[in-house]
Structure 1
Amino acid sequence: MPAHRRNFRVEQTESLLPAFYIRPGRGSTPVTLTGWTARSQWRVRLSKPEALLELTTENGGIAIDADRRILSYAITDEQRASLLAMAYSRLVYDTFLISPTGRRYKVVEGEILLVRSVTHP
């Protein structure tokens, strides 16, 4: 199953990040996400070896609501400030779900637009 394409924004004055509903593949039986983990890397370009940010369920950057099949991101104020202080305006990312047996599934990918504000808090 191909990953869903979803672009989103990280804004200087907004703390909310998107949440994604994880749909089962066409014709497949929905599975519970209990015990699953997730990992996402944010990079300047796909070809760049170093990630600017890595979010995981282990480091608190990704939360999985197993019953509702929702995956959500969280970054700290320091991470947000660090991203917005860089000269870049766009990043790329993807996110994998990892089953309890270790099988990896890319569920979402896209671009992140870094939006700076003229008026600061």
Structure 2
Amino acid sequence: MTKPANLKLQIYQGATFRKRLRWLNPDKTPIDLTGCTARMQVREEVESTAVLLELTTESGRIALGGPAGTVDLLVDAGTTATIAWSGGVFDLEIVHPGGEVTRLAQGSCCVSPEVTRD
């Protein structure tokens, strides 16, 4: 069983958010993510029913690097500009081809408000 990485994600409102994670075996070789999908949700609190931000491989907001073991998170500037919340919690799950789910990361997500506007 993989212990999830505990991360603090920082989103800058109005700027493109990019974050690369790499999933490695204990011997530092990459985990092959070929055929996997991924999903991530940000909520105000763990128990909250409202999803503040969602990223999936299907939406193009998560890209998996197959044999390289990379997980790229991407939220465009237009989307971050509309964020009206200041923080929350998240987890990131990898769904393997056989249906097994691994929580790769979890933690907090905070938004730094944009000062420069059109």
TM-score range (shorter-chain normalised) is 0.7 to 0.9
Distance 1:116 1:30, change over 3 A: closer
Alignment correspondent of 1:70: 70
Q: Name the structure 2 match of 1:108.
A: 105
> Which residue of 2 is the match for residue 118 of structure 1?
115
Q: CA deviation at 1:8?
A: 1.6
C-alpha RMSD of matched pairs (Å): 2.0
The answer for the alignment partner of 1:2 in structure 2 is 3
Give secondary structure in 2 for the equivalent of 1:39: strand
Is there any run of 5+ residues in structure 2 with no aligned partner, and where? none
Q: In structure 1, what is the equivalent of residue 53 of structure 2?
A: 53
1:100-120 deviations in Å (ceiling 9; x for gaps): 001000000111110013233
Percent identity for Structure 1 against Structure 2: 26
**Shift of residue 15, structure 1, vs aligned partner:** 1.5
Structure 1: unaligned runs, 5 residues or longer: none
Question: Structure 1 residues 14, 78: closer, same or farther in 2, change over 3 A?
Answer: closer
Q: Give the Å deviation of 1:13.
A: 4.5
Tell me, yes or no, if the aligned pair for 2:41 and 2:92 is still in contact at 8 Å.
yes
Equivalent residue for 2:32? Answer: 32
Partner of 1:98: 95
Which structure has more strand as a fraction of its residues?
2
Regions of 4+ moved over 3 Å: none
Q: 1:11 maps to what in 2?
A: 12
Aligned to 1:21: 22
8 Å Cα contact 2:13/2:77 also seen in 1? no
Q: Distance in 1 between matches of 2:50 and 2:89?
A: 12
